[in-house]
Amino acid sequence: MAAAIFSLFIFVVALLIGTSSASSSGLQILQAERQIELTSHIVRVYLTLKIENTEDAPATEVLLAFPPTQFDHLALVKAAVTVGKKRKKSYVPLEAKPTERPDAPNGTKYHSVSLLKPLAKGETTNLEILYILTQSLEPFPEEIAQSDPQLVYYHDSAIILSPYHIAHQATMIKTPSNNVESFTQVDPAHRSGSELRYGPYEGHGPYSYSPIIVHFENNHPFAVVEELEREIEISHWGSVQVTESYKLAHAGAKHKGAFSRVEYQSRPGGSGVSSFKHLLAVLPPRVHSVYYRDEIGNISTSRLRTNSKKTELLIEPRYPLFGGWKATFLIGYGVPLKDFLFESAPGARYLNYTFGCSIADTVVDKLTIKVVLPEGSKDPSVEVPFAVKQSLEKKYSYLDVIGRTVVVLEKRNVVPEHHVPFQVHYKFNPLFMLAEPLMLASTFFLLFAASVVYLHIDLSIRKKC
């Protein structure tokens, strides 16, 4: 721990030394406000930047800098520009994508945000940025007993890391409760209740950095889906079958020592506060044949609530999950085909389904979505609003002859904000639907024909008398 802090310190010193040479761009940030939400195990950072171009050349993009440790845990970066005055303020989303810079000091990583229109000299613009970090809360102590609360560290910088000069800045950190063990003092910094305020700081040069550690209590269930495989199987006979297999873990402080059922049952509030017993899965409306099981059979503890807008499935793993405990399970359901499959052109169809994981408020480390297209479909193509790894597979299901095309999408580090629709386009001839019934019918026909022939044939050498 100490070593880590020390190295961070060195890093900062190096950054401060390197600052003067690095400000190559002519942009400067007039006002920066950052709000860090640490209420759950997903860290959400809202950044409001007021940017001015000080050079002649118009600027087309704005760089956001991240220290390398943070960059690895970055699940999502969203940027928007504010348009209009106070009353008619609206947000126009901008494109943000990771970029590399040759002159990045100490391995700093960037996302570049392309502006709607180039920023001429002297003009200012307001950017709203949201980025989400996962696995950035480090439990300390690493192991806790059943009755202990869960304490975590959060590492960041009091000063916003940026390749630009920042004139004015302030950082607000929101913790889930008033129980903050300690936080690094970088004057002016103070705490009121569950809010920590760093700043305002004036006039920091590019790549300024000042590490802080916040040590606080966070009993939010650290539900992490280590692996999720969703299989979406399209049947043109009228339904889409979805199977989701989860590998769930509690990623918080590890459970240490005994687990006492007496304590857990008799003091629900005081014992195992960071553990969780149930999860909420949000399924599409009009689902049918929902099941919830694992490799050794049905799990009887679940509750299904349906209404016209959505279906909620409250699932309880077989046992409460304490830090470090794991569970695997499977959720499956069918939804009507007409809700998700549409015809774009004659013979061409597309599936419109939600990306991400059904369980609310979780992080998925590795998500694999497999869209199983009906047998005989051609030319699959995928539209996803963010970068995913794509590949194709073949799958043989009930009575298949040529196999079904499976579109495989893989993405790491998925957060609830990734729950957006994606589309899979393909071409399909409805005649293929008849292939299997015809095959079965002809098999039975041949069987009966063969038995008729057999009954009427006489293979004996001698005639019966």
Binding positions for other proteins, rule: CB under 8 A: 257-262, 265-266, 293-294, 296-301, 318-319, 324-328, 396-401, 464
Q: Which two tokens stand for residue 279?
A: 């999860």
Round to whole Å and give the CA distance between 227 and 422.
20
Judged by DSSP in three states, 107 sits in helix
Contact 192, 180 (CB under 8 A): no
Q: Which is nearer to other proteins, 299 or 371 (CB)?
A: 299
Among residues 125 and 146, whose Cβ is nearest to other proteins? 146
For the CB of residue 361, give the shortest distance to other proteins in the complex, in Å.
21
DSSP 340: T
Contact between 42 and 54 under an 8 Å Cβ cutoff? The reply is no
CA 113 to chain centre: 21
Rg (CA), the chain: 29
Least Å from the CB of residue 427 to other proteins: 23
Q: Shortest approach of other proteins to residue 260 CB, angstroms? A: 6
Output 83 or 440, the one with its CB closest to other proteins. Answer: 440
CB of 380 vs other proteins, minimal distance in Å: 21
Minimum distance from CB of 261 to other proteins (Å)? 4
Looking at residue 379, its amino acid is D
Q: What are phi and psi of 427, to 5 degrees?
A: -110, 140
> Is the peptide bond preceding residue 188 cis, with omega within 30 degrees of 0?
yes
- In the chain, the largest separation of any two C-alpha atoms, in whole Å, equals 117
| Residues constituting the chain | 465
Nearer to other proteins, 183 or 246 (CB): 246
CB of 255 to other proteins, least distance (A): 9
Nearer to other proteins, 262 or 345 (CB): 262
Element (H, E) at 406: strand 404-414
Between 287 and 299, name the residue whose CB sits nearer to other proteins: 299
Distance CA 178, CA 375 (A): 58
Shortest Å distance, C-beta 245 to other proteins: 13
- Of residues 169, 109, 132, the one with CA closest to residue 36: 132
Q: Which two tokens stand for residue 283?
A: 């399924």
Nearer to other proteins (CB atom), residue 431 or residue 455 = 455
Q: Are strands 211-217 and 151-157 parallel, antiparallel or unpaired?
A: antiparallel
Helix (H) or strand (E) holding 71: helix 68-72
Of residues 53 and 377, the one with the C-beta less far from other proteins: 377
3-state secondary structure 198-231: EEEEEEECCCCCCEEEEEEECCCCCEEEEEEEEE
In angstroms, give the least distance from the CB of 376 to other proteins.
15
CB of 429 to other proteins, least distance (A): 21
* Residue 323 CB, nearest approach to other proteins (Å): 11
**What's the distance, Cα to Cα, between the start and end of the chain in Å?**
101
CB of 153 to other proteins, least distance (A): 23
Q: What is the DSSP letter of 374?
A: P
Residue in the structure block whose two tokens are 């609530």: 305
Question: Two tokens at 19?
Answer: 């600052």
Here the tokens at position 375 are 């047998």
104 versus 145: smaller Cβ distance to other proteins: 145
Q: Which of 180, 173, 77, 187 is nearest to 127 (CA)?
A: 77
Nearer to other proteins, 401 or 449 (CB): 401
Query: Which two structure tokens, joined as six digits, stand for 316?
Result: 């309880």
Nearer to other proteins, 395 or 419 (CB): 395
